[in-house]
Amino acid sequence: MGPLREDALRRAEPAAPPGPRTPRAGLLALGLGLALVLALTAAVCLGPTDLAPGQVWSVVLRRLGGTPPRPGTDDLIVWQLRVPRALLAALVGAGLGLVGTAAQALVRNPLADPYLLGISNGASLGAVAAIVLGAGGSSGLGLPAAAFAGALGSFALVWGVARRGGGFSPLRLVLAGVGIGQFLSGFTSYLVLQAGDEQQTRSVLFWLMGSLSGATWSVLGPPALALAAGLLALMARARPMNALLMGEETAAGVGVDVTRLRRELFVVTGLLTGVLVAVSGAIGFVGLMVPHLCRLVIGGDHRRLLPLSALTGALLLVVVDLVCRTAMDTQELPVGVVTAMIGAPALLFVLDRRTAVGR
């Protein structure tokens, strides 16, 4: 043994810095947290009427402190309109970052997207049915409820198809998700064509491209709860998820019940995606891009990757929504349009860099 070990050491290249990269991840989380607070502040300050950060924080602190608000437009704009919207952007962004990470571990593909599993297509069908057939009306919780019902329906269908043959294999999941997703979006397209008037078509398209304009305080509860529960459930499985990345056999060898883990990840991903899509429409690219970028910066360990993806997703969507609200004077841009316009080039840049580095 002795000679071999020495020899192996002698041949070894100059050692890289040993140990995990935890301190860097901690600093990064702190930086992202601060940036998120700044972005939220900016999101509440800017709009058709610009407010100073001081005004904004005084309203927020009065409200949080339980002091009765000063009557006036400041309170209305800040507390009733912009704060819920900024918070919804943060919640949805964080959720998308989280489900993206989970979906990528679930199907063991770093380019997987939560929408690959077909959940968003069901939600879209539900929402569009509500708008066009007038089932839920366009007011109150009718639209999110219809979208969530659609999400649950497609989740059940994908589950039913994917579990056959036992084992929830990545390939079956993706094929079931894509197949059922396409099937459902066929119905959605049909409904869009049946839409009665231009106004309906517009609101359908707007919803399909993702929008946070429905934000009110009453909408925030479900995504906040779902995000907290999802983060907890995924963090509890962070190590088994790491093992799954190495392969099913490796995971089994270190004591992971692979089929059960996949089932649990699918449930968490499906339900959280359903809630997010229900309140915001199908916002693309965040779930694909955010985990991928985070992985390049802090590595693939899910104990760090999950919380940092959530933070990054929140920050990204708050900024993007701010751009969407303020870029044009006359109308809002759908969030999904801007995430795609930023996301696709960012992804191509990342791919290009990876190829250039040469692996």
Partner 1 sequence: MNVAIEDLHVGYAGRDVVSGVRLIAAAGETAGLVGPNGSGKSTVLRTVYRHLRPTAGRVLLAGTDLRTLTPGQTARRVAALPQERGSDFELTVHEVVAMGRMPYQRAFAGEGRADREAVADALAAVGLAGHGGRRFAALSGGERQRALLARAFAQDPDVLVLDEPTNHLDVRHQVELLALLRARRRTTLISLHDLNAAASLCDRLHVLHAGRVVASGPPREVLTPRLLAEVFGVRAAVTDHPLTGEVLIAYDHREVLPTGDG
* Residue 248 near partner 1 by CB under 8 A: yes
| Least distance CB 155 / partner 1 (angstroms) | 25
> Of these, 218, 247, 345, 351, which contacts partner 1 (CB under 8 A)?
247
> Of these, 26, 189, 257, 327, which contacts partner 1 (CB under 8 A)?
257
Look at phi and psi of residue 210 and say left if phi exceeds 0, alpha if psi is from -120 to 50, else beta: left
Q: Restricting to residues 169-208, which ones interact with partner 1 according to CB under 8 A?
A: none
* Residue 23 near partner 1 by CB under 8 A: no
Per-residue tokens: 1: 């043994």
Of 15 and 356, nearer to partner 1 (C-beta) is 15
Q: Restricting to residues 137-176, which ones interact with partner 1 according to CB under 8 A?
A: none
> Of these, 237, 266, 276, 309, which contacts partner 1 (CB under 8 A)?
237
* Residue 21 near partner 1 by CB under 8 A: yes
Piece in contact with partner 1 (CB under 8 A), picked from 4-12, 196-204, 212-220, 338-346: 4-12
Pseudo-torsion of CA 261, 264, 268, 274, nearest 10°? Answer: 120
Please report, for residues 102, 158, 161, 289, the alpha-carbon distance to residue 117 in angstroms, rounded to integers and kept in the order given. Answer: 12, 7, 12, 16
> Of these, 85, 172, 295, 325, which contacts partner 1 (CB under 8 A)?
295
| Least distance CB 173 / partner 1 (angstroms) | 16
Piece in contact with partner 1 (CB under 8 A), picked from 138-146, 229-237, 309-317, 332-340: 229-237
* Residue 68 near partner 1 by CB under 8 A: no
- The Cα 255–Cα 260 span in angstroms is 12
* Residue 356 near partner 1 by CB under 8 A: no
Q: Restricting to residues 93-112, which ones interact with partner 1 according to CB under 8 A?
A: 108, 110
Q: Which of 337, 334, 318, 335 is nearest to 83 (CA)?
A: 318
Query: In degrees, to the nearest 5, what angle opens at C-alpha 85 toward C-alphas 271 and 114?
Result: 30
Size of the site for partner 1 (CB under 8 A): 42
Of 108 and 263, nearer to partner 1 (C-beta) is 108
Of 8 and 64, nearer to partner 1 (C-beta) is 8
Q: Which of 128, 141, 134, 130 is nearest to 207 (CA)?
A: 128
Of 98 and 146, nearer to partner 1 (C-beta) is 98
Please report, for residues 147, 201, 219, 324, 332, the alpha-carbon distance to residue 138 in angstroms, rounded to integers and kept in the order given. Answer: 12, 13, 14, 22, 18
Piece in contact with partner 1 (CB under 8 A), picked from 92-100, 138-146, 292-300, 329-337: 292-300
Piece in contact with partner 1 (CB under 8 A), picked from 16-24, 113-121, 220-228, 263-271: 16-24
Sign of the four-CA dihedral 255, 260, 264, 265: positive
> Of these, 20, 69, 186, 345, which contacts partner 1 (CB under 8 A)?
20
Alpha helices in the chain (DSSP H): 2-11, 22-45, 53-65, 73-75, 83-106, 119-133, 142-163, 170-194, 198-208, 217-235, 238-246, 248-253, 258-280, 286-298, 302-326, 335-357
* Residue 255 near partner 1 by CB under 8 A: yes
User: Using CB under 8 A as the criterion, what x/- string covers residues 42-61 for binding partner 1?
Assistant: --------------------
- The Cα 21–Cα 304 span in angstroms is 10
Of 276 and 294, nearer to partner 1 (C-beta) is 294
Query: In degrees, to the nearest 5, what angle opens at C-alpha 282 toward C-alphas 153 and 85?
Result: 115
* Residue 299 near partner 1 by CB under 8 A: yes
- The Cα 329–Cα 88 span in angstroms is 22
Residue numbers at the binding site for partner 1 (CB under 8 A): 1, 4-5, 7-9, 12, 15-21, 108, 110, 235-237, 239-240, 242-243, 245-250, 252-258, 295-296, 299-301, 359
